[in-house]
Structure 1
Amino acid sequence: MLTAMLAGRTDPFDTAGIRRRVLAAWSDSPARFREDANAEEDLVRGGYRDRLLVELAQNAADAAARAGVPGRLRLELAAVGSEGAGGEVLHAANTGAPLDAAGVAGLATLRASAKRDQRQTVGRFGVGFAAVLAVSDEPAVHSQHGGVRFSAARTRAEVADVAALAGELARREGAVPVLRLPWPDGGPPRDGYATEVVLPLRAGSRAAVRAALGALDAGLLLALPGLAEVEVVVDGVVRTLSCTRTPPLARLRDGDATTTWRLGQRSGELPAGLLADRPVEERARRGYTVTWAVPLDDDGRPEPLPGRQVVHAPTPSDEPLSLPVRLVAPFPLGPDRRHVAPGPVTDALVAVAAEGYADLLAALSPDPAVLGLVPRIGLAAAELDAALGSAVLDRLRATAWLPAADGTRQQPDRAAVLDGGPDELVDVLTDVVPGLLPAGWARRDGAPALAALGVRRVGTAQVVEAVTAVARPPDWWARLYTALASADREELGALPVPLADGRTAPGPAGVLLPEPDLPVGRLGSLALRIAAPDAVAPPAARRLLERLGARPATAAAVLADPAVRAAVEESVDAVDEDLGETDPADLADAVLALVAAAGTAPGELPWLAELALPDDGGAWAPAGELLLPGAPLAAVLEDGALGVLDPGFAADHDPAALRAVGVLGTFALVRAEDPADLDVDAAEDWADAVLDRLPADAPPPAWPPLTAVRDLDLVADWDGALPLLAAAPEEAWADVVLDGVAVPGHLRWWLSTRPVLGGRRPDRLRAPDGRELDGLYDPAHAPPEVLARLRPPATVDDVLADPDAAADLLDRLGDPARTAPAAVLRTVYARLAAALDGIDVDPPARVRVAPDRVADPAREPVAVLDAPWLQPLADGALVPAGGAPGPVADLLDLPLLSERVQAAVTSTPVRRGPWAAVPGAGLAAARLGLPVLPGEVAVHGPLLAAGRPVAWWPGEGVDHVDGTPAALGRALAWRAGAWPLRQALAEAFAEPARSADLAAEDSVT
């Protein structure tokens, strides 16, 4: 049968001879057939379907390497034409050295290879081509020298003719070693290629092959340096994978997508002794190249590969690799051709790989992304992976590859990284913390890698310690504070703060943070802990220092500092005793600058008046005792009462600030919370006068804030002073309200009780329009604005409000040179009695009994009219009681008229009857609001008392009248207790016929 098959065929590779030799060997030794069948079955059972394309690419790379040309591989999945209906064929055409006789012999010899002493080849002995059996039973190889095909069916037919193998074939149910018997096959490879593998696919493998072609990765070319391009053609669609190498970079292209990889390679030759236990083919190939590869982004940063990787030895193995990179190394494989065999060769290559990995990381750009390539402790997935991770980590720890601040590289044991904190903090501390890694290297995701490398971590406390002794400009500190804004405050208590005067505060607590209005440059003499403005300018820096105990420092806040107040209050004594270390002019300049910036009002901070300022005689005096040169106040004070500020000093400073510290241009205000603290003339007397206006049984009042004007006792010219005082702030003139009672403030009281208006007291004059006091008081004469402030009395009530003024009015009423309006006289003594109740007042020597007449009780009888019916019997002058005869008599120390006149009715009435019977009684009752008039009335003609005529006389049950309407009205009003209605009642009795009309008039109101 074999002879018939070979008849008329060209057999350049002597496939007939190979078959004869193999069949002869099998015939002589069925065990050899069994061994070959088992070996091939093991390869197929090994699941090499997933490695088919890799093995084809590997063979293509080796063919290119042998020929010394760039390798190209075309993988095309085509529908079956002449190969058979309904199927698919995978074509793998490659450039390079074509298949020759030795290659055919190698293909047909499971344990041999044509690859000898070729370091550039990467294929594994006896494995590559056998992978085709995972998808095809009829593989063929076409070469420029000829073709060869293997066939399971034809092999089975050959074996069936060998009697010695019949039993074994039956036992194996027809399964035979396909790759042992080759047949010649026609046709050269497709144009442009040296060799083409043709694989008719078994039905069960077509989907897997199609999927494998779609998933083929351009990264495969990294492990195959001899292969430059792979074309993948599926359903007529071409996808090109290529690799362009420009060491140390490799650019992989997959269609339109290009990825740049950084390569790290180490090449050498293994010692022969290490290969002593390896197969002969491996012992002859001691050369190695170990390649690490990692993809780069557009900025040249490494992009760690996602997911679990595998070791490429040099094509993918089943050895897991936890490092996120591609490793290509000629590790020896075990019998399953999937896992790396342990031993000295593997150990040696692990060491080489570790050195190459350190070289790769050191060659990458110094970017934190490199930390993603550092092995993580405890993540190894297998023994080889653990060995690689450990060796790489050891080598990285001993290699200067981490970036240093000066641009060089440093070993991890000399490096430091911030334990948290923003990138800005790293930038600030670069030249402060030795070995500090650049910004970005402190990210949380890089912490495990840095920990594995043993990089020193620097916490906030160590940062504070590191900056404690450094000298840096304020803007550097501003950057530091801003970067530390979110740090733990517990660790920042000793954070230094540069001060405006060049000192450094050992911590933020108590430091003043200058606001924009603070004149920092002029405050050096105050020795305050004011932060350098540029150091605290950023808002984040200020917020941090405030959290740590620093205080915002407006000009007003600095003025309130106890140290500033102490310096001001001691300034004059320091000059006088020559104790101060600070030039008083510098202190004055600093305080005035603060006052100007704060907008302090005059008198707002009374202690500022203690500030030492130069006077015009060259001495130093408190600001509150100095006048501004040319000040209006100077013209109205006594000569020499106050000093004058040095004119040159005054010209150099803001007048408003000078006034605010107490230098006088006009009258100054004084403020206090209690009269005892009110440092002005007669403050205690004013307080007593105020209390006299309160009810005698009132509890001690709660004083409101008080304002007064100083230096009133130094005035020499009141005509010039009063307009200045009239222009004083409203608060100086405001009334003081105590327990609801408004009383004059100190200024108005003081001026009212001093002879400031033409030598007379304002409270002894009346307002020009005060007609009620006309005749009793002379009118005040002064500019309207002055009178509006002084408020001289305009009414009796104004006078009576002040007990002292009321006592004066009592005396004025007895002054014969004065007159009193009749309307005032009627009630004034009663009102005086009420106003002076409880006050010890001497009775006047004379009393007013008429608007233009006074009486002297020592010279004539004077009584207080308390019983109006007795008036005709009076033998002296009468004082109007104003409805309060008793209090008036007590006030004037006079008897009541009823006490002086003792009389009774001596005449006999002409008629007697009830009040209700008197004509007009009805209207009178209505006007009194009574249903009927009570009592009786007796009419005399005439009515006599003590023999003298009177108009009316009240009695217990009966009232006596002379019969006139006036008498009737008075008697009834007195009886009803309605004395003010006496005229209305008299009208009712005078015109009884008009009662109805008069009642109608009453209804109008």
Structure 2
Amino acid sequence: MFDCARLRETVLAAWTASPARFREDANAEEDFALGGYRDRLVVELAQNAADAALRAGVPGRLRLELRDGVLLAANVGAPLDAVGIEGLSTLRVSGKRDEAGAAGRFGVGFAAVVSVTDAPAIASRETGGVRWSRDETAALVTARPELAAELAGRGGHVPLLRLPFSDESLGGLADGVPDGFDTVVRLPLRDEAAEQAVRQMLEEAGPALPLAMPALKVIEIEVGGRSRTISAEGRHVVAESGVFLPEQVAELFADRPTEERARPYWEVRWAVRQQPGEARGGDVPRVVHAPTPSDEPLDLPALLIATFPMTTDRRHVAPGPLTDFLVRRAAEAYIRLLGELPRTPELLDLVPGMMGKGALDAAIRREIIRLLPDTPLLPAIGAADPVPGNQARAVLGSGEFLEKISGVVPGLLPAGWASRHPALTTLGVRRVELADVVDMLTGDAVEDRDPAWWRSLYETLPADDLEAIAAVAVPLADGRLVRGPRGTLILSGAVDSAALAPLGLRIVHPDAAHPLLLRLGAAEATPRTVLDDPLTHAAVAESLHSADPEPVAQAVLALVEAAGLTAGEAPWLADLALRGADGELYAAGDLLLAEGSLAGLIDPDVPFGVAAPELVTRFGPNVLAAAGVLDGFAVVNDADVLLDPADCDHDLDLEDEWLEAVLDLVHDQLPDLDVPPVAPEFTAVRDLEYVADWPAALALLSRPPLRAALRPLRVVAAGQTVEVPSYTAWWLSRHPVLDGRRPTSLRLPSGDPLLFGLYGDAPAGIDETALELIGVRSTLDALLSSHGGPDELLDLLADPAVEVDRAQVRALWIALAAVDPARVGPPEAVRAVQKGSIVVAEVAEGPGPVVVEAPDLLPLVADRPLVLAPFDLAEALSEVLDLPLVGEIVTGSVTSSGVERPVPEEVRSLLPSAPPTYVDHENLLVDGVPVPWRFFEGKVHASGVEGLARGLAWASGQWGDRLAVAALLRDPGRVPLLLAEADLDPVTSL
């Protein structure tokens, strides 16, 4: 039994002698119970159980049972002894200071019971027990008058744990120790709030307790009939510990209390789950354990237990040299922990980031991160030992791909490690992008790889980012290793690789061929793709300058035959060097087929050769024609042609002049155009300048397929479409291809009669539509609407050799009057009427031609060449021809005197709008010239019946009735007859 009475008397005597000591003990217990240890009950009970097991050298076991408002805590290990009772009843005096590995270090942990109970008790089976009572303590204190004032000042609150009592009054608590346990703590809970707090602490208890206290192997918890067991199983633990040397104690403990210096031990322990895929530390509080939980946050995915120095409230780690020392030891132990765990990508989840949740967390992280890059933690493909992060490389890709490139990329991490995990950066791992890996797969690193190895590499390459792998090396059949599949060819069964050798093509080695290369730009080597290859184009372009062009010619002709090309389909083949019948080399486009249709059309003196007979025999005329040898006319086909002198060049005769004419046409219709127009489709017949037999040539050109080259060219400019003459039609229109005459000097036999005499007749037997396309004139309207057509018509009319009659001239003037003057250049001579004859009048010589706008002015210009047309068109015609009207060159004033007379009443039957009077002159003079009539300043002036009739008809706006008015004036009796005749006029004349 313990001598509790002696201990009580000793404490009471101390309090009585110094009431301040009473107050100090009461305050201290209250601080611990309500402050630092208020929620540490379960932890402190576990700590005492762990220390008891450690002292006894047995596996620790603790049972916590909450039943009927009482918490029972039973444990195995060393029993309660006098030293223990003294430690429990004395604040901040621990009996464990010499015990290495003991969890309790400060002698205050048991104070946590005061937060939930007023009558705690503890007993061991062998040594008995002890209890404490707030009520009994208060009674003893009250009996001391010296303490009455202090007790009153505290409202009756007394330090519960300072006065122990024997457990005899409990009916022998020691006899109630559960079977299998050595000691039991009994805590009758103060109230419902205390019970709820204990219940919550029991529910929150987890593996952190046995992990923080290794001596405690199992914790059993039973609450309300529900039991569970807590242990540290399934965790990987790394522990480091040591004993401080005296000089270290002096240095590191200089700012620590004396009790702590008496325990010169340190320990650091880390624990994580072992099972792959489990949260590493998710079931333990994310705080530092020292060794019991503190309020110091630790956001690392592992549990840290270390002998950190604590502040007096036992909640926080105290800063200082000892803490700095343990931070370094904790980082080193954490590195060891990482090194002992399995080498799986889950290891990355244990790598800390830079940001901590507190000063201590940040300090530990910094130290770990400092050590990580140089620590060999990571597996490398092909390496027997782990490599440090700063020597590792991470590449995204499948395991097969990474195995393939492991010999090229040093320190390559296996599949699953090359993620975007931020830990790789912390470890110092260099992330190598796929494109960079592809760049590394060149040179000495892969020179000994055979083509089959490359094919297996293509099989594993990540194909979801084609841009990144676009430059992957490709082995060629000729032994070269080229960068990137674009421009390479993969052979198919239709192509003989040996025959292609002269072309210098980049043919993929058959053992390396893979469909991925096609996705990356390689082409299947069909006859057409081989022909389209730039190297084939280059070989053809250089063949004329080659020392031995025959192999290239044979290879290309074989491809043309295999591809089934037709003439004009590949115009670039015209540069292929082929042998002529004379043994000389020619470009294919400069050779003729001896039996071809073009051979009989062209001038024999032009610089064309004839294809060698052996070529014709071997490949046939169709293949040679497809290769550019001229069977019929060669045709140029192009698309999206920019009609600009700097870009439009197809090596056609007079192409620059045609382009200039086309641009003039386009700008006539779209004057504000500031960008070159574009021809979406361009077709032209070449070598027209060498034709000698034009009848036969035109027969070919007027039939399909060459006829398409005659159709107008559609040009797109400023969002609008304009039609212009095609090159072929334009060229033909400018040359004497129709019986030695230019098409623009001829008209269709069925053409407009108004063009008769102006143009000769085109030859019969040629399609008239084709003739019209090449410039043969068809109608006057078409001529005047064409570019330059009005000027052409005026030039013809100014040619004295051209014969036209008066009616034809009048009709032509009528048509010209409708033309926009801006489209016409002032003529130097015009066709006119002078004294009744048709003449060609020079505009700039003598009294020049004038346009007559009124019939009463004719006598004033009787000697001048007159341009005569309906008077209502005179002004428009004057502007088109840039000629004056008569009224612009004469005054037209009446210079004689007359008598004003009434207009005969009978005239109104024909001229209802005739003026009421007129001026009768015996001898009418205008500008001193005798004239029969004049309508001047709103008055009709006349001399004689004929003049009066014309003046009244003109003034009434019925000029066409002038003869009828004259007849009426001569014989008024004829009025009924004239009216009857007028009634018979057609409706359109009314």
TM-score by length of 1: 0.58
Quote how far apart the aligned CAs of 1:637 are.
3.5
**Paired position in structure 1 for 2:198:** 209
Is the contact between residue 770 and residue 794 of structure 1 (CA under 8 Å) also seen in structure 2?
yes
Quote how far apart the aligned CAs of 1:89 are.
2.3
Is the contact between residue 90 and residue 200 of structure 1 (CA under 8 Å) also seen in structure 2?
yes
**Paired position in structure 2 for 1:721:** 697
Q: What secondary structure, in the 3-state scheme, does the structure 2 residue paired with 1:46 have? A: helix
**Paired position in structure 1 for 2:858:** none
Is the contact between residue 311 and residue 320 of structure 1 (CA under 8 Å) also seen in structure 2?
no
In the superposition, relative to structure 1, how do residues 239 and 677 fare at CA in structure 2: closer, same or farther (>3 Å)? closer
**Paired position in structure 2 for 1:872:** none
Q: String of CA shifts for 1:202-235, please: whole Å, max 9, x gaps.
A: 458555434433433342232234545545455x
**Paired position in structure 1 for 2:121:** 140
- 2:587 maps to which of 605, 609, 622: 622
Q: What secondary structure, in the 3-state scheme, does the structure 1 residue paired with 2:375 have? A: coil
Q: String of CA shifts for 1:812-832, please: whole Å, max 9, x gaps.
A: 75xxxxxx9996599799999
- Counterpart mapping for 1:572-971 below 5 A: 574-575=545-546, 578=547, 608=572, 611-615=575-579, 617=581, 619-627=584-592, 632-638=597-603, 642-643=608-609, 646-647=615-616, 658=627, 665-666=633-634, 709-726=685-702, 727=704, 728=706, 732=710, 734=712, 763=745, 766-768=748-750, 780-782=763-765, 783-789=767-773, 792-793=776-777, 802=792, 806=796, 811=801, 813=803, 883=868, 921-922=907-908, 925=911
In the superposition, relative to structure 1, how do residues 788 and 353 fare at CA in structure 2: closer, same or farther (>3 Å)? closer
Is 1:107 the equivalent of 2:85? yes
Quote how far apart the aligned CAs of 1:780 are.
3.9
Is 1:91 the equivalent of 2:72? yes
Is 1:992 the equivalent of 2:975? yes
Cα distance between partner residues in 2 of 1:178 and 1:559: 106
Cα distance between partner residues in 2 of 1:387 and 1:34: 45
In the superposition, relative to structure 1, how do residues 398 and 170 fare at CA in structure 2: closer, same or farther (>3 Å)? farther
Quote how far apart the aligned CAs of 1:148 are.
2.9
Letter in 2 for 1:188: G
In the superposition, relative to structure 1, how do residues 212 and 353 fare at CA in structure 2: closer, same or farther (>3 Å)? same
Task: Give aligned-pair identity as a percent.
Answer: 30
Q: What secondary structure, in the 3-state scheme, does the structure 2 residue paired with 1:299 have? A: coil
Cα distance between partner residues in 1 of 2:362 and 2:17: 41
**Paired position in structure 2 for 1:53:** 42
Mean Cα displacement is larger for which, 994-1003 or 613-622? 994-1003
Is the contact between residue 75 and residue 92 of structure 1 (CA under 8 Å) also seen in structure 2?
yes
Letter in 2 for 1:325: A
Is the contact between residue 768 and residue 780 of structure 1 (CA under 8 Å) also seen in structure 2?
no
**Paired position in structure 2 for 1:256:** none
In the superposition, relative to structure 1, how do residues 221 and 441 fare at CA in structure 2: closer, same or farther (>3 Å)? farther
Q: What secondary structure, in the 3-state scheme, does the structure 2 residue paired with 1:50 have? A: coil
Quote how far apart the aligned CAs of 1:360 are.
1.0
Letter in 1 for 2:290: H
Quote how far apart the aligned CAs of 1:310 are.
1.8
Letter in 2 for 1:220: L
Cα distance between partner residues in 2 of 1:209 and 1:931: 134
In the superposition, relative to structure 1, how do residues 619 and 826 fare at CA in structure 2: closer, same or farther (>3 Å)? same
**Paired position in structure 2 for 1:188:** 176
Q: What secondary structure, in the 3-state scheme, does the structure 2 residue paired with 1:327 have? A: strand
Q: String of CA shifts for 1:127-177, please: whole Å, max 9, x gaps.
A: 56564345434223355558534133697599789xxx9677768757572
**Paired position in structure 2 for 1:179:** 164
Q: String of CA shifts for 1:95-118, please: whole Å, max 9, x gaps.
A: x45x75x64773356589998999
Which of 1 and 2 has greater Rg?
A: 1
Cα distance between partner residues in 2 of 1:651 and 1:688: 41
Is the contact between residue 218 and residue 229 of structure 2 (CA under 8 Å) also seen in structure 1?
yes
**Paired position in structure 1 for 2:304:** 327
**Paired position in structure 2 for 1:359:** 336
Quote how far apart the aligned CAs of 1:381 are.
3.3
Quote how far apart the aligned CAs of 1:767 are.
1.4
Is the contact between residue 60 and residue 72 of structure 1 (CA under 8 Å) also seen in structure 2?
yes
- Counterpart mapping for 1:66-81 below 5 A: 73-79=62-68
Mean Cα displacement is larger for which, 465-474 or 681-690? 681-690
Q: String of CA shifts for 1:761-787, please: whole Å, max 9, x gaps.
A: 765564146666789966742145544
Is 1:150 the equivalent of 2:128? no
Quote how far apart the aligned CAs of 1:199 are.
0.9
Q: String of CA shifts for 1:8-51, please: whole Å, max 9, x gaps.
A: xxxxxx34xx3466578789999999999888985664343433
Is the contact between residue 398 and residue 412 of structure 1 (CA under 8 Å) also seen in structure 2?
yes
- Counterpart mapping for 1:156-555 below 5 A: 156=137, 173=151, 177-179=162-164, 181-183=166-168, 185-186=171-172, 187-190=175-178, 195-203=183-191, 205-206=194-195, 208-227=197-216, 229-234=218-223, 236=224, 238=226, 240-243=228-231, 245=233, 249-250=234-235, 262-266=236-240, 290-295=268-273, 299=277, 302=280, 309-313=287-291, 315-316=292-293, 325-329=302-306, 353-364=330-341, 365-367=343-345, 370=348, 373-374=351-352, 376=354, 381=359, 396=372, 399-404=375-380, 406=382, 412=388, 414-415=390-391, 434-435=410-411, 446=423, 449-450=426-427, 482=465
Cα distance between partner residues in 2 of 1:290 and 1:651: 93
Cα distance between partner residues in 1 of 2:933 and 2:28: 156
Q: What secondary structure, in the 3-state scheme, does the structure 2 residue paired with 1:91 have? A: strand
**Paired position in structure 2 for 1:907:** none
Number of residue pairs aligned between Structure 1 and Structure 2: 827
Quote how far apart the aligned CAs of 1:292 are.
0.6
In the superposition, relative to structure 1, how do residues 479 and 786 fare at CA in structure 2: closer, same or farther (>3 Å)? same
Is the contact between residue 502 and residue 551 of structure 2 (CA under 8 Å) also seen in structure 1?
no
Is the contact between residue 498 and residue 535 of structure 1 (CA under 8 Å) also seen in structure 2?
no
Quote how far apart the aligned CAs of 1:721 are.
2.1
Q: String of CA shifts for 1:53-112, please: whole Å, max 9, x gaps.
A: 112223444566788887654433344xxxxxxxx3222234x45x75x64773356589
Cα distance between partner residues in 2 of 1:982 and 1:667: 65
Q: String of CA shifts for 1:303-331, please: whole Å, max 9, x gaps.
A: 68998622332x33577767553223467
Is the contact between residue 477 and residue 535 of structure 1 (CA under 8 Å) also seen in structure 2?
no
Is the contact between residue 735 and residue 742 of structure 1 (CA under 8 Å) also seen in structure 2?
yes
Cα distance between partner residues in 1 of 2:299 and 2:281: 15
- Pairwise CA RMSD: 7.7
TM-score by length of 2: 0.59
Mean Cα displacement is larger for which, 151-160 or 215-224? 151-160
Letter in 2 for 1:781: A
Letter in 1 for 2:168: W
Q: What secondary structure, in the 3-state scheme, does the structure 2 residue paired with 1:183 have? A: helix
Q: String of CA shifts for 1:446-497, please: whole Å, max 9, x gaps.
A: 48845xxx77899999999978968677969997995998xxxxxxxxx989
Is the contact between residue 772 and residue 821 of structure 1 (CA under 8 Å) also seen in structure 2?
no
Query: Any unmatched runs of 5+ in structure 1?
Result: 1-13, 80-87, 251-261, 486-494, 506-510, 543-554, 694-698, 814-819, 851-865, 869-879, 885-911, 939-952
Letter in 2 for 1:574: H
Is the contact between residue 70 and residue 186 of structure 2 (CA under 8 Å) also seen in structure 1?
yes
In the superposition, relative to structure 1, how do residues 680 and 969 fare at CA in structure 2: closer, same or farther (>3 Å)? farther
**Paired position in structure 2 for 1:897:** none
In the superposition, relative to structure 1, how do residues 216 and 594 fare at CA in structure 2: closer, same or farther (>3 Å)? farther
Cα distance between partner residues in 2 of 1:376 and 1:527: 56
Quote how far apart the aligned CAs of 1:200 are.
1.7
Letter in 2 for 1:198: R
Cα distance between partner residues in 1 of 2:201 and 2:714: 102
Letter in 2 for 1:152: S
